[in-house]
Amino acid sequence: MDYVCTDDYTVTTTTPVVRDGAMVGIVGADALVDRLERVLLPVLRAGDSPATLVNASGRVVTSTDARREPGSMLRADGLAAAVRALSPEPVRLPDGASVLTCGDTSLALVVGR
């Protein structure tokens, strides 16, 4: 998350480009958080549980919980390890929330907390 230069929160997501087993580059994209909120919040609100999209540091990108402001930290035991694990299966935190990684990005969805 970045607040520099644009005066708006921005998320930069990158992923390696691999060809024949070797990394040949990196591809990335910047997205304004307010744009992500317009696209993601209707989908996240369709679920039965609170949902928060966080980066690898646990910083909130967007959330269905209005008390979780973009840029604030979501603190939960085991959250950092769950995000770093890049597990294809949901990881259950001690408080009962589930962490679902977003592909091989550094973003994760925390559901139920």
Task: Summarize pLDDT for 26-55 with one digit per residue, the tens.
Answer: 998 888 888 989 999 999 999 999 999 998
Count of structural domains, the chain: 1
- 């604030």: which residue's tokens? 72
Residue 41 lies in a domain: yes
Enclosing H/E stretch for 81: helix 79-85
Residue 2 lies in a domain: no
74 burial via Cβ count (<10 Å: 0-12, 13-18, 19+): buried
Task: Summarize pLDDT for 59-110 with one digit per residue, the tens.
Answer: 999 999 999 998 899 999 999 888 888 788 899 999 999 999 888 778 899 9
Residue 18 lies in a domain: yes
pTM of the model: 0.81
CA–CA gap between residue 98 and residue 17 (Å, rounded): 29
Residue 5 lies in a domain: no
Domain assignment of residue 75, given as a range: 10-111
Residue 3 lies in a domain: no
Specify the CATH number for the domain of residue 90: 3.30.450
CA–CA gap between residue 108 and residue 84 (Å, rounded): 9
Q: What is the pLDDT of residue 56?
A: 84
CA–CA gap between residue 83 and residue 98 (Å, rounded): 11
Three-class secondary structure of residue 79 per DSSP: helix
Residue 22 lies in a domain: yes
Closest to 61 (Cα-Cα) out of 85, 77, 41: 41
